[in-house]
A and B are shown apart, each in its own frame.
Chain A
Amino acid sequence: MLFNSINFLLFFPIVTLVYFFLPHQLRWMHLLIASCVFYMFFVPYYILILFITILIDFFAGILIQRSEGKQKKLYLWISIVSTCVVLGVFKYYNFFIDNVNDLASLLGWNYSLQALTIILPIGLSFHTFQSLSYVIEVYRDRQQAETNLGIYSLYVMYWPQLVAGPIERPQNLLHQFRKEHKFKFEKFYKGLRLMVFGFFMKLVVADRLSLYVDAVYNNVPNHSGISLILATVFFSFQIYCDFAGYSLIAIGASRLMGIHLMTNFRRPYLSQSVGEFWRRWHISLSTWFKDYLYISLGGSQVKSAWRRYFNLFITFLVSGFWHGANWTFVIWGGLNGFYLIIENIVGVTSKSKLKGIGSLLRPLYVYLLIVLAWIFFRANSLGDATLIVHKIFAIPGNLFVPADPELLIYCFVGIISIVVFEVFYERIYRNRSLTFSRVYFSNMLMLLAFFMILMIGVFDGGQFIYFQF
């Protein structure tokens, strides 16, 4: 089910209302059923895949807790491999086959492997990672194995974050399903506010920008360098508002029911370094890779600096590959890893604060680097990506103006609203204490966002970009 659909407008109030009316003991069952319904709006029978991974990791968790030494490690690896196999088949098999076929034709071998005609289960990478974090945490003795299959299933399937995160840790989420949550107006209000701003980001900014971005990026040869620059800048805000918007709706919807999900974005485009950007962007995934891959590789606790850079680079390459089975994503990940290594070598960190104009220029430098990498993230193919880079640096040309030029005005209105709000929030708002004027101001903003959604929101039911991952 999409958050921006009529179905959700019915689903959400019904689920929330029933949740508060039910006795505490039955609430987890209610949420589990709601999560199944939510998931089955996509491809219903794919829920079986989800059940298989749930069963594997549930029993693996119990076995890991009961064992010691090599056997414990064995159960962990069985769980990791079997969970990853599901991800591998659905997400990476065709990519692997395509590359083997390309290599075979390059070497003049006369055979080709058959690709699978399957649709990627929605949000597969997200709940796979959430399951993995559970078994790893149990292995590291930082989490007790869950003995209630229903509660564990809810941990993997909890509907607000089922298809696009935030990717939760068991320590944060599991215990909340057992706790009794009474209706609190403050939580309701804060949750609602997050949801309204989430919808604003998605419908007013991201979906509007996508109209221009798609028109340009899906027809690269026919567009000029200047149009590609604009489309890339637009995409940088589209992806941010699409994904951060989804996260806000998820966090808000959950908070309404009293369940706290982790923050996923903290105004990333205001970062003072690429390193800081990655501490503010998709925080649940960045910390996942840091906790379970980077640190497992040795992290920064290695003797040689080159080994540390290698760990960093590998982490970002894998992160790129996680996003999609395409070389464009791998290059995107690699580029970000490269930026971080250079920053490490040069000594640019968010702590090395600059004053005056320097502090204003630093976010701009970070933005330019990040936006360059976004080209590879959005391009449909490696060929398109290289053509875009070539055109951007070589051929300015004429700007593509869509049939309805008003579209561009709304694009800029959306971007300006986000930038102004984020700068204001970062520099002034978040440091103030809760006063009447702040609540009043917050209500005004919520009202403004609501009417902007009605008047310049895009209601074509556009999918959230991260669903495909």
Chain B
Amino acid sequence: MNREIKQFFVFLIKAIVIVLIVDMSIGLLFRFLYNRMVGGERARAHYVINKSADDVLIMGSSRAWNHYIPQVIEDSLGLTVYNAGRSAQSLLYQKTLLKMFLPRHQPKIIILDINENDLVFEARKYEIFGSLMPYYATNEAFREEFDRVNPQFKYFGWLNTVVYNSSLFSIFYRSLKPKEDLHKGFQALVGERVSRIEMVDNCSELTDVDPQMRLALHEIISLCENHNIRLICVLSPRAVDFKCVRRDYQSVKNELARKNVYTIDFTNNQKFRSNLTLMRDPAHLNGKGALEFSKDIAHIIKGELRN
């Protein structure tokens, strides 16, 4: 064999062996650290997937995370509650999370906070879904969903390091400096940044319904039905005044009505619209608002459960 070719093969073999060893070592280190994390969004998701045994689970985006105080709802319903809301996440994430923990634990009730734009196509919804990637090797339900959205990832998914892409610092930080989850997943927002009700009149610019998101909503509904879980959908308050009936808002409402899902709509609730000190920004309640909202929502759900 030519000397150059021989050199090439020696290099190639050495490189492959070194890459595999380093990949495995870093992967093991990060898996260890990941399991040690306390506090933060990743640790909360980890708890929901692997440990939670709560009766009620709150799911949704930041509006779920910052609006529902588990202790308030627990006191009212007499059931254990955990807030699994996660910033910027879509129905795709909620469906996948549900599929990931259902084989282990079936809660009695799921409160799903819905956004008006939940069915609308947005590329970011698919990108941010990758935050569950550390489960690619260990959770089949996640792998199945992720491969469907990112078919090319399976060529790299076997690497131990790539699944921790873009989460190094939070894993290090939360495993080396744990932060107790005192409020069962909930986090209050601080501040009152809303001075007036925001007018929204861009009804004509809205994009069409994303079939993937609609399918995700349908799957969430049928998963809950199949596991005897009571699904309650909530549209929580907003400091926004819609000049017209927005297509995205209407499509979400129609979809829920068509599937007979019990839905509570706080979008036009006067209590919150007339008292802007309860809002942190047009889309989020502050701590004071969350307390009021949690009391209200617990009261309504309690009434509904009695019936």
Contacts and interface: CB of A to CB of B under 8 A. Distances in A.
B8 interface: yes
A183 interface: yes
Interface in A311-352: none
Interface in A402-437: 403-404, 406, 409-410
A406 B165 contact: no
Interface in A91-113: none
Contacts of B167: 406
A456 interface: yes
Given A183-B5, A409-B169, A403 B11 contact: no
B26 interface: yes
A460 B155 CA distance: 15
A447 to B, nearest CB: 7
B161 interface: yes
Contacts of B11: 185, 189
Interface string A424-465: 000000000000000000000001001100111111100000
A447 B18 CA distance: 9
Interface in A215-253: none
Contacts of A458: 166
B186 interface: no
Interface string B157-179: 00101101111111000000000
Nearest to A6: B152
Nearest to A410: B166
Given A403-B62, A404-B87, 15 more contacts: A184-B4, A189-B11, A403-B88, A406-B170, A409-B169, A447-B22, A451-B23, A451-B26, A454-B23, A454-B161, A454-B162, A454-B165, A455-B161, A455-B166, A455-B168
A278 interface: no
Interface residues of B, number: 29
Interface of A: 6, 9, 182-185, 188-189, 403-404, 406, 409-410, 447, 450-451, 454-460
A460 B127 contact: yes
A458 B127 CA distance: 10
B19 interface: yes
B162 A455 contact: yes
B1 to A, nearest CB: 12
A9 B153 CA distance: 13
A457 B4 contact: no
B7 interface: yes
A406 B166 contact: yes
A11 B42 CA distance: 37
Nearest to B6: A185
B4 A451 contact: no
A185 B7 contact: yes
14 contacts: A6-B155, A9-B155, A182-B4, A183-B2, A185-B8, A188-B8, A403-B62, A451-B26, A454-B159, A454-B162, A455-B161, A455-B164, A455-B166, A456-B166
Contacts of A404: 87-88, 128
B165 A456 contact: yes
Q: Which 9 A-B pairs have the closest CB atoms?
A: A185-B7, A6-B152, A185-B4, A454-B162, A454-B161, A403-B88, A409-B169, A406-B169, A185-B8
Contacts of B23: 451, 454
Contacts of A460: 127
Given A409-B169, A451-B26, A456-B165, A183 B18 contact: no
Nearest to A185: B7
A281 to B, nearest CB: 30
Contacts of A183: 2, 4-5, 8
Contact of B87 (A182, A184, A403): A403
A262 B185 CA distance: 56
Interface string B91-121: 0000000000000000000000000000000
Contact of A450 (B5, B19, B170): B19
A189 B62 CA distance: 48
A451 B164 CA distance: 11
Contacts of B168: 455-456
Nearest to B155: A6
Contacts of A184: 4
B166 to A, nearest CB: 6
Nearest to B124: A403
Contacts of A9: 155
Interface in B132-171: 152, 155-156, 159, 161-162, 164-170
A6 B156 CA distance: 10
Contacts of A410: 166, 169
Contacts of B7: 185
A465 B62 CA distance: 33
A403 B88 CA distance: 8
Contacts of A450: 19
B117 to A, nearest CB: 15
Contacts of A456: 165-166, 168
B165 A455 contact: yes
A441 B63 CA distance: 49
Nearest to B153: A459
Contacts of A6: 152, 155
Contacts of B2: 183
A404 B8 CA distance: 42
B111 to A, nearest CB: 22
Contacts of A182: 4
Contacts of B127: 460
Nearest to A20: B5
A458 B12 CA distance: 26
A185 B9 CA distance: 10
A252 to B, nearest CB: 15
A148 B109 CA distance: 75
Kindly name the residue among A188, A189, A404 whose own CB sees the greatest number of chain B CB atoms within 10 A. Answer: A404
